[in-house]
């Protein structure tokens, strides 16, 4: 007879009591996951998160309350979870998992690592650390009503980087600076503007009109004559944006007239840009102030973040945010810099107002603060029930691993609507490692196409190795028979090389570079393919199977797995046939125990039902209207 401790077999319950688990992330999924872990019987947990609690977190991260705003997520999550199970041993780190202190030896002390992250860089890093430490990793993520859980085990399954991921969408510089046609272009421009004025200046984030735009073939002398018609206060001087702003004392009205009047008038002199496009309309602060009506200043009904301000309302918001950010800069001292954060009210007000004013100038419909924040922070609205379901699935996959049933682990997709089999949860068999993966292959190797005469060592380090291939502290050696060190992770050792071109070190078509990241215990061989035919604004391309080319979109995760595995029956349930009744019983008892111990679960279900009811009601209303 099987001996049970609560809802678990005694052997499994004993292993939960002794095993050490690392949870990376204490946000939406992390809060639910930590609660589930202690209620299931895990006793030794370490949690790490760099973030602090914001008011916007409180609607779905139920371990936090209003009194916790501004405090460490990891620390508060620990304190809240201990109220469920005071005997648990939980260690919290308010830190980045990419800190060198959390090396391979740190990861090796855990039997399981569970990811509850929201960014690809950290996911890539944890994936590599778990491969190096040979520790099972349970990866997860949510996007609105969609969610996914999968298990990664070195040598047995695909790693996180085996499959191509779509690159974050970028836009040509001339589109952002000269000819925006979508609200997202204006929002990106406003974020760039924030950095140019208050943050770290980046030449790739210039906001002034781009005179090198190939579409703008105009006569510079004629343009200068036309642009001279602008007023002197904000006259366009080709100096650094930050330098010009400092010279005005960050005067919000002078900034406004430069950005939304003088720069736009300068754009209008580029005649060819506007032959097939609607020309922008400059704004003038004084004229807008004279035309402003008292109604525009009075708040509209409804939620503040979902109101779309008028033009003068955006002007006032721009002025107020500039004044606030100017004060913050002064408090920090000379040469201080601010970092853009979507949860910083002043920074968000600045981006909202600047983006909306530019939208108006280019004849686009303006957006609410909520909409701008969603696009500026790349946020997909988080749903508490999705996080709860995914967190429960993470624990179930963890129980399979600790039971020695790794072969019964599955990748599980949570869909918004039932599939053809009327299932919301679709389990798929785990795929084996990809032979072409540049991370988990036995000898990782890639070919990079670039121009060796134009690519600097700093670009190789920052844009290719760190940004593209996810390294943290790379060391690069040229395979030239001499072992020439091109990049060293030791501070200052190869700093003099940064501004030099790759060709200055004899690197040419066919050269090979060996890049080592000792923190990640990872080595990558890079074959250099020299070319002078890259597209404009493209610094390099990765040849072959590297994840800069996203796979074609698939409508049904179940069908994806069916094709991969050769037949439609391969998308099996997430349990093996021999242990199916017992695992089903375990699932039911596990969910019941969570419900019994956690009123929040009921709140999540109620919230979900309300959302569904409202959606159905709206559809019915739309249907009646169309009739």
Angle at 338 between CA 125 and CA 308, to 5 degrees: 95
Tens digit of each residue's pLDDT (9 = 90 or more) over 207-219: 888 765 555 544 5
Residue 292 assigned to a binding site = no
C-alpha dihedral, 575 to 578 to 579 to 585, nearest 10°: 90
Q: What is the mean pLDDT of residues 173-195?
A: 89
Cβ atoms of 21 and 46 closer than 8 Å: yes
Q: How large is the average pLDDT for residues 372-401?
A: 89
Q: Is residue 186 annotated as involved in ligand binding?
A: no
- Within 8 A by CB and 6+ apart from 232, the residues are none
Q: For residue 352, which phi and psi values (nearest 5 degrees)?
A: -60, -50
Task: Consult the annotation and say whether 45 binds a ligand.
Answer: no
pLDDT at residue number 170: 65
The span from the CA of 6 to the CA of 3, in Å, is 10
Instruction: Say what the pLDDT of residue 237 is.
Output: 43
**Binding site annotation covers 566?**
no
Extract the tokens encoding 63.
Answer: 């371990």
What's the CA gap between 413 and 415, in Å, rounded?
Answer: 6
57-78 mean pLDDT: 92
* Of 361, 354, 417, residue with least CA distance to 612: 417
Residue 174 bears catalytic tag:
yes
544 is in an annotated binding site: no
SS3 467: helix
pLDDT recorded at residue 618: 56
Mean pLDDT confidence for 565-594: 37
For the record, the structure tokens of 302 come out as: 């409804």
Q: Supply the angle between the helices 183-198 and 345-361 in degrees, to the nearest 10.
A: 130
- Measure the N-to-C terminal CA separation of the chain; round to a whole number of Å: 64
Average pLDDT over residues 45-60: 88
Which helix (H) or strand (E) segment is 185 a member of? helix 183-198
User: In what side-by-side order are the strands of the sheet with 445-450?
Assistant: 484-487, 475-478, 512-517, 522-530, 445-450, 540-543
pLDDT at 614: 55
Identify which has the larger pLDDT, 168 or 281: 281
Confidence of residue 576 (pLDDT cuts 50, 70, 90): very low
Average pLDDT over residues 415-423: 90
- Rounded CA gap, 169 and 378, in Å? 10
The string of pLDDT tens digits covering residues 440-473 is 998 999 999 999 999 999 999 998 999 889 999 9
What would the pLDDT profile of 420-438 be if each residue is shown by its tens digit? 889 999 999 999 999 889 9
Pick the residue with more confidence: 53 or 150? Answer: 150
Give the list of residues 6+ apart from residue 566 with CB closer than 8 angstroms, or none: none
Predicted pLDDT of residue 583: 42
Cα–Cα distance measured from residue 145 to residue 604, given in angstroms and rounded to the nearest whole number = 13
Measured distance CA(224)–CA(221) in Å, rounded: 5
Which pTM was predicted?
0.66
Reduce the secondary structure of 289-333 to three states and give it as a string.
HHHCCHHHHCCCCCCHHHCCCCHHHHHHHHHHHHHHHHHHHHHHC
Give the model confidence (pLDDT) of 495-537 as tens digits: 999 999 999 999 999 999 999 999 999 999 999 999 998 876 6
Q: Which of 164-173, 595-604, 616-625 has the lowest mean pLDDT?
A: 595-604
Question: Is the predicted pLDDT of residue 545 greater than 70, yes or no?
Answer: no
Q: What is the mean pLDDT of the chain?
A: 82
CA 577 to CA 408: how far, in whole Å?
9
Q: Annotated binding residue at 31?
A: no
pLDDT at site 555: 40
**pLDDT recorded at residue 390:** 97
Banded pLDDT at 292 (limits 50, 70, 90)? confident
Spot the catalytic one: 174, 314, 315, 409.
Answer: 174
Q: Does 290 count as an annotated binding residue?
A: no
Per-residue exposure over 382-393, b if at least 16 CB sit within 10 Å of its own CB, e if not: bbbbbbbbbbbb
Tell me: is residue 28 an annotated ligand-binding position: yes
Whether the predicted pLDDT of 557 surpasses 70: no
DSSP for 58-120 reads TTT-TT--GGGTTSBHHHHHHHHHHHH-TT-EEEEE-S-TTSTTS-HHHHHT-SEEEE--S-H
């Amino acid at each position: 007879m099987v001996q049970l401790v609560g809802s678990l077999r005694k052997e499994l319950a004993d292993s939960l009591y002794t095993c050490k688990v690392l949870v990376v992330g204490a946000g939406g999924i992390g809060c639910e996951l930590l609660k589930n872990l202690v209620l299931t019987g895990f006793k030794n947990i370490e949690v790490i998160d760099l973030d602090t609690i914001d008011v916007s977190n409180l609607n779905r991260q139920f371990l936090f309350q209003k009194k916790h705003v501004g405090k460490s997520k990891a620390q508060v999550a620990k304190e809240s979870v201990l109220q469920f199970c005071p005997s648990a041993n939980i260690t919290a780190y308010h830190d980045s998992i990419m800190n060198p202190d959390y090396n391979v030896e740190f990861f090796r002390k855990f039997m399981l690592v569970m990811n509850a992250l929201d960014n690809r860089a950290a996911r890539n890093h944890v994936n590599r650390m778990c491969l190096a430490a040979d520790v099972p990793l349970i990866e997860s993520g949510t996007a609105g009503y969609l969610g996914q859980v999968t298990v990664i085990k070195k040598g047995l399954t695909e790693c996180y980087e085996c499959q191509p991921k779509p690159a974050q969408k970028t836009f040509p510089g001339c589109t952002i600076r000269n000819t925006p046609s979508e609200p997202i272009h204006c929002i990106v421009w406003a974020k760039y503007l924030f950095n140019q004025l208050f943050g770290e200046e980046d030449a790739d984030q210039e906001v002034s009109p781009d005179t090198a735009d190939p579409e703008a073939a105009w006569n510079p002398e004629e343009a200068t004559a036309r642009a001279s018609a602008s007023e002197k206060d904000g006259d366009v001087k080709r100096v650094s944006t930050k330098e010009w702003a400092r010279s005005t004392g960050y005067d919000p009205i002078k900034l406004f007239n430069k950005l939304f009047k003088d720069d736009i008038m300068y754009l209008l002199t580029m005649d060819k840009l506007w032959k097939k496009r609607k020309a922008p309309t400059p704004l003038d602060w004084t004229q807008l102030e004279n035309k402003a009506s008292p109604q525009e200043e009075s708040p509209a009904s409804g939620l503040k973040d979902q109101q779309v301000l008028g033009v003068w309302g955006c002007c006032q918001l721009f002025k107020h945010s500039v004044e606030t950010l100017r004060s913050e800069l002064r408090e920090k001292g000379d040469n201080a810099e601010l970092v853009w954060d979507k949860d910083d009210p002043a920074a968000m007000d600045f981006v909202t107002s600047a983006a909306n004013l530019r939208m108006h100038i280019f004849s686009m419909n303006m957006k609410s603060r909520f909409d701008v924040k969603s696009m500026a922070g790349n946020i997909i609205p988080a749903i508490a029930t999705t996080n709860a379901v995914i967190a429960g699935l993470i624990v179930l996959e963890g129980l399979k691993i600790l039971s020695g049933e790794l072969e019964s682990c599955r990748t599980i997709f949570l869909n918004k609507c039932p599939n053809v089999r009327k299932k919301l949860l679709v389990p798929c068999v785990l795929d084996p490692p990809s032979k072409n993966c540049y991370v988990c292959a036995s000898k990782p190797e890639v070919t990079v196409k670039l121009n060796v005469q134009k690519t600097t060592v700093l670009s190789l380090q920052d844009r290719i190795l760190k940004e593209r291939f996810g390294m943290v502290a790379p060391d690069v050696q040229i395979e030239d028979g001499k072992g020439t060190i091109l990049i060293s992770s030791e501070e200052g050792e190869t700093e003099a090389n940064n501004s030099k071109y790759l060709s200055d070190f004899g690197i040419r078509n066919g050269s090979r570079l060996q890049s080592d990241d000792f923190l990640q215990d990872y080595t990558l061989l890079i074959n250099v393919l020299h070319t002078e035919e890259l597209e404009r604004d493209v610094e390099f391309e990765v040849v072959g199977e590297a994840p800069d080319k996203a796979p074609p979109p698939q409508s049904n995760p179940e069908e994806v797995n069916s094709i991969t595995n050769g037949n439609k029956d391969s998308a099996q349930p997430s349990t093996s046939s021999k242990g199916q009744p017992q695992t089903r019983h375990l699932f039911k008892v596990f969910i019941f125990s969570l419900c019994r111990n956690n009123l929040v679960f009921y709140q999540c279900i109620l919230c979900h039902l309300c959302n569904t009811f409202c959606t159905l009601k709206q559809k019915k209303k739309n249907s009646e209207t169309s009739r």
